[in-house]
Amino acid sequence: MADARVQRSHYAALVAKLGADGDKRIEAAFAAVERERHCGEGPWLVGAGDGYIRTRSNDPGLLYQNAAIGLIPERRLNNGEPGSHAFWLRAASPRPGERVVHVGAGTGYYTAILAELVGAEGQVGAYEVEPELAERARQSLADRPNVAVHARSGAQGALPEADLIYVNAGATAPLPIWLDALRPGGRLIFPLTPDKGLGGMLLVTRRENEPYAARFVSGALFFPCLGARDPEQSTRLAAAFAGGGAKEVRWLYRSASSDQPSWLSGDGWRLSK
């Protein structure tokens, strides 16, 4: 156990340095959560390029690297790369006492990281539409009283009010139910992705009045979010990314009309420079 803690501590420092500029809160959260608890029994499939390599044993230390781990590998459903999540979490800035909605929670590893970041006074609602993954998340998170697992889509139906919505599946639009659930000052971070090719991780911050602040914090390539995809919008999205200018996006309007030129617009929303 001492060796496991040392391995996890080293991994947490590495992940925080790679993705979060050494943020100590991010580092402490990664150090506190056992990745093996959420990845099932080994040996494991470690993401490598377009495929996987199998670990040589079931030593949990092999999970503590900056790589994705296959959960349902035949469908490319993974426990994602920790350094990328560290980067996005730092950008979204979960704070002690906040309420978080985690969409696409998988088996709950990053849900547990979020639970560490909001602390005992905070709350995390984990939404996972895949029954197998949702059940695994329910088991792995059972000892965390500040976490509730919901075996349903986080892209359909009502969501509770939230200070942060962290989405880990690709959407073709900022969904109204996500924006509606944000408290003033609340943040939504999600992958805005076309059906093919790279999209971007969009961070939206709700203000008292429109427009909301919005910016792309990185590129993003994710498994699609069921209930959050539209083929026509995907085509427009792909063209917008191909045309450039994503780094200049600064505002999200929840209306089709605006005096500001848009980078991309959809049904009831537009992103503007």
What is the secondary structure of 72-99 as a DSSP string?
A: EGGGTEEE--HHHHHHHHHHH---TT-E
The pLDDT of residue 256 = 63
Here the tokens at position 111 are 């849900």
Three-class DSSP category at 11: helix
Q: How do the pLDDT tens digits run along the chain, 273 residues long?
A: 458 789 999 999 999 999 999 999 999 999 999 999 999 999 999 999 889 999 999 999 999 999 999 999 999 999 999 999 999 999 999 999 999 999 999 999 999 999 999 999 999 999 999 999 999 999 999 999 999 999 999 999 899 999 999 999 999 999 999 999 999 999 999 999 999 989 999 999 999 888 999 999 999 989 899 899 999 999 999 999 999 999 999 999 997 665 667 899 998 899 999
Nearest to 192, CA basis, from 203, 181, 200? 200
Amino acid 4: pLDDT = 78
φ, ψ (nearest 5 deg) of residue 31: -70, -25
Segments in the chain forming alpha helices (H): 2-20, 24-32, 36-39, 82-92, 109-118, 131-140, 176-181, 231-243
Question: What is the pLDDT, as a whole number, of residue 259?
Answer: 66
* Region of 100 on the Ramachandran plot (φ > 0 left; ψ -120 to 50 alpha; else beta): beta
What's the pLDDT at 2?
52
Distance CA 213, CA 205 (A): 5
Count the residues in the chain: 273
Structure tokens, 157: 């139906």
The 10s digit of each residue's pLDDT in 215-240 is 999 999 898 998 999 999 999 999 99
What are the CA-CA distances from residue 9 to residues 3, 89, 124, 137, 147 (Å)? 10, 18, 24, 23, 24
Domains and CATH numbers, the chain: 83-272 (3.40.50.150)
Report the amino acid identity of residue 255: S
Q: Residue 210: its pLDDT value, please?
A: 86
Residue 202 falls in which region: left (phi positive, over 0), alpha (psi -120 to 50) or beta: beta
Whole-model pTM? 0.96
What are the φ/ψ torsions at residue 213 (nearest 5 degrees)? -70, 140
The C-alpha angle with vertex 182 and arms to 145 and 15, in degrees rounded to 5, equals: 60
Residue with tokens 């230390």: 61
257 Ramachandran zone, left/alpha/beta (phi>0; psi -120 to 50): beta
Phi, psi of 82 (to 5 degrees): -60, -40
The one-letter amino acid at 52: Y
- Cα distance between residue 67 and residue 80, in whole Å: 7
**Cα–Cα distance, 16 to 29 (Å, whole number):** 10
